[in-house]
Chain A
Amino acid sequence: MSVPPPPKKNPLERTRAPQLPPQTRSRAALGLSVAAAEGRFALQHCAECGTVQYPPRDACVSCLSHDLRWRDTDPKGKVLAQTTVRISATVYFRERGDWRVGMVQLDAGPSVVCHLHKDTPPDAPVRLINRLDRAGQSVLIALPHDSPYSLKDDPQLQTMTSAPRHRRILITDGRNPNAPALARALIKAGAASVFVGEAETWLPSPQRAALEDMDGVSLLPLDVTDTRSVKTLAAELGGKTDILINNARFMRPGGVLARGDTTFAAQEMEVNYLGLMRLAQAFGPAMCGRTAGGDNSAVAWVNILSVYALSNDPAYGCYAASHAAARSLTQNMRADFAGAGLRVMNAYVGPTDDAWHDPLPPPKVAAGALARSIVGGLEDGLEDVFCGDVAQDFITRYRENPDITEREMTALGGNQ
Chain B
Amino acid sequence: MSTTTLENLAGDLASGTVRLVDLTHTLDPDFPVIILPPEFGQCARFRMEEVSAYDHRGPAWKWHNLTLNEHTGTHFDAPAHWVSGRDLPNNTVDEIPAEVFIGPVVVIDCSAGAAADDDFELTPAVIAAHEAKHGEIPPDAWVLMRTDWSTRRGAAYLNMQEDGPHSPGPTPEAIRFLIDQRNIRGFGTETVGTDAGQGAHYTPPYPAHFYLHGAGKYGLQCLCNLDQLPPTGAILIAPPLKIRNGTGSPLRVMALVP
**CB of A311 within 8 A of chain B?**
no
- CA–CA, A267 and B157, complex, Å: 24
Considering the complex, give the chain B residue whose CB is closest to the CB of A223: B29
**A226/B42 in contact, CB under 8 A:** no
Q: Return chain A residues, CB-CB under 8 Å to B158.
A: 202-203
Q: Return chain B residues, CB-CB under 8 Å to A264.
A: 41
Other-chain contact of B48, A201, A228, A252 (Cβ < 8 Å):
A228
Q: Mark B31-49, 1 if CB is under 8 A from A, else 0.
A: 0100100110110010111
- CA–CA, A225 and B45, complex, Å: 9
**A226/B47 in contact, CB under 8 A:** yes
Q: Mark A195-229, 1 if CB is under 8 A from B, else 0.
A: 00000111110000000000000000001011111
Chain A: minimal CB distance from B38 (Å): 8
**CB of A147 within 8 A of chain B?**
no
**A227/B50 in contact, CB under 8 A:** yes
What is the interface residue range for chain A against chain B? Answer: 10 to 19
Determine chain A's interface SS by DSSP, over half rule: loop
Other-chain contact of B42, A223, A227, A267 (Cβ < 8 Å):
A267
Q: Mark B153-170, 1 if CB is under 8 A from A, else 0.
A: 011011011000000000
**A202/B47 in contact, CB under 8 A:** no
**CB of B30 within 8 A of chain A?**
yes
Q: Mark A173-203, 1 if CB is under 8 A from B, else 0.
A: 0000000000000000000000000001111
**A226/B29 in contact, CB under 8 A:** yes
Q: Return chain B residues, CB-CB under 8 Å to A204.
A: 155, 160-161
Chain A: minimal CB distance from B27 (Å): 13
Q: Mark A369-403, 1 if CB is under 8 A from B, else 0.
A: 00000000000000000000000000000000000
- CA–CA, A264 and B44, complex, Å: 11
Q: Return chain B residues, CB-CB under 8 Å to A263.
A: 41-42
Chain A: minimal CB distance from B68 (Å): 12
Interface hits, A141-166 → B, CB 8 Å:
none
**A203/B35 in contact, CB under 8 A:** yes
Supposing A202-B30, A203-B160, A267-B42 touch, asked if A225 and B155 sit within 8 A by C-beta, the answer is no
Interface hits, A219-275 → B, CB 8 Å:
223, 225-229, 252, 261, 263-264, 267
- CA–CA, A203 and B38, complex, Å: 13
- CA–CA, A267 and B45, complex, Å: 11
**A202/B49 in contact, CB under 8 A:** no
Considering the complex, give the chain B residue whose CB is closest to the CB of A231: B50
Chain A: minimal CB distance from B132 (Å): 38
Q: Return chain A residues, CB-CB under 8 Å to B161.
A: 204
Q: Return chain B residues, CB-CB under 8 Å to A229.
A: 29
Chain A: minimal CB distance from B24 (Å): 18
- CA–CA, A203 and B30, complex, Å: 10
Chain B: minimal CB distance from A382 (Å): 33
Considering the complex, give the chain B residue whose CB is closest to the CB of A204: B160
Interface hits, B123-159 → A, CB 8 Å:
154-155, 157-158
Q: Return chain A residues, CB-CB under 8 Å to B157.
A: 202
**B32/A202 in contact, CB under 8 A:** yes
Q: Give 23 CB contacts A-B under 8 Å.
A: A200-B30, A200-B45, A201-B154, A201-B155, A202-B32, A202-B154, A202-B155, A202-B157, A202-B158, A203-B32, A203-B35, A203-B155, A204-B155, A204-B160, A225-B45, A227-B48, A227-B49, A227-B50, A229-B29, A252-B39, A263-B41, A263-B42, A264-B41
Closest 10 CB pairs of A and B: A202-B32, A226-B29, A263-B41, A202-B154, A202-B155, A204-B160, A203-B160, A227-B49, A201-B154, A202-B157
